[in-house]
Chains A and B, each alone.
Chain A
Amino acid sequence: MNSEGLNQELGAVEQAVAIEAAELAAIEVELADIEQCCLQGKPVPPARVYRIKVDNHYHEWPKAHITGNQLLHLAGRDGQLVFEVFENFRHGDPELISPHAEANLRKHGVERFTTAPKLVQVTIDGKQKTIQAGMYTVTELKRVLGIDPSRVLDEVIGGEFKELPDNGTVHVKGGEIFVSHVRQGQSS
């Protein structure tokens, strides 16, 4: 790394340390329960630890900010299937927190966090079907799509039929086209 890059990195570290120091200096209470603050209509004070509610379970978090991915991890929703996380307000609609975005735990009015499956549309045998995004085994995908396990499942990618072996995996992101069929053709 050249000296300019090193200076930039040092600057970023200094800035992060300064923010951390300012947060520590501003601590007013040991623990702030954001749900209670919300219910009582009080602002969330700077605290050493924040008590947050995620899917009806309480967790303690040592910073005033938390990313979508960290919330999903707390909720145990960071497995093969994709979930979305929302911040829920006392008043108003829930807001989606993207995986790398940070939620401010001191933001007024945030009561709790909830997670929900990320649903996407795929096409199976010419029909649209809504399923949860994520990594599936082919066997599991057939079950979710309502396809008989004995049928062969192909994914059409760029105009090519690719046969999916039952012991393989598929990463469903939405927009995939699947065709199922029975093995019937044979050399004659």
Chain B
Amino acid sequence: MVAPENLDELRAAFGEVTERVEGGVDLVFLPRLVLPEGCAPREMQALLCLGQHGGYTTRLFLQQAIPGKGANWSSHVVLGRPWWTWSWNQVPASLRPAEILAEHLRGLR
């Protein structure tokens, strides 16, 4: 379960966000995430995975892959729908969700 104060921090930045759980791993659904400059499109739905997934400590899933950004994009079905993510690892699950998100977004700059 995501700590309420951590969800509040994300809500202050992104408006409504929703906590989900799959396979015992906490996830946060972001209905509108603005991606770093140079990404196209700039806005999309995202799913922040706060625990282990496929050998990665944490992950950021996006609605679609971003051409020219990140590397080794792969598609995964999470919460019953397809998502895209790139190869970006070593962001610990011990961080606050906002920190985890910031570190994953750094991988798209």
Q: A156-B13, A159-B15, A160-B34 are in contact. Are A186 and B102 (CB under 8 A)?
A: no
* Total chain A interface residues with beta-carbon distance under 8 A: 22
A residues in contact with B15, CB < 8 Å: 159
Say which one of A38-46, A54-62, A91-99, A177-185 lies at the interface with B: A177-185
Contact B95 A181 (CB under 8 A): yes
Tell me if A125 counts as interface (CB < 8 A to partner B). Answer: yes
CA distance A154 to B101 in the complex (A): 11
B residues in contact with A125, CB < 8 Å: 9, 96, 98-99
A residues in contact with B26, CB < 8 Å: none
Tell me if A123 counts as interface (CB < 8 A to partner B). Answer: yes
* Total chain B interface residues with beta-carbon distance under 8 A: 35
Contact A163 B13 (CB under 8 A): no
Contact B99 A179 (CB under 8 A): yes
Residue of A nearest to B92 (CB): A184
In B79-109, the 8 Å CB interface with A consists of 87-92, 95-96, 98-99, 101-107, 109
Tell me if A167 counts as interface (CB < 8 A to partner B). Answer: no
Residue of A nearest to B8 (CB): A126
Contact A161 B105 (CB under 8 A): yes
B residues in contact with A158, CB < 8 Å: 34
**B103 contacts which of A183, A187, A188 (Cβ < 8 Å)?**
A183
- B residues with CB within 8 A of A: 5-6, 8-9, 12-15, 32-36, 43, 56, 70-71, 87-92, 95-96, 98-99, 101-107, 109
Beyond the given pairs A160-B35, A184-B90, 6 more chain A to chain B contacts, judged by CB atoms under 8 angstroms and listed by A's residue number, are A123-B9, A125-B96, A159-B13, A185-B104, A186-B89, A188-B90
Which 8 pairs between the two chains have the least Cβ-Cβ distance?
Answer: A126-B9, A160-B34, A188-B89, A181-B99, A156-B13, A185-B103, A185-B91, A159-B34
- A residues with CB within 8 A of B: 123, 125-126, 152, 154, 156, 158-161, 163, 177, 179-188
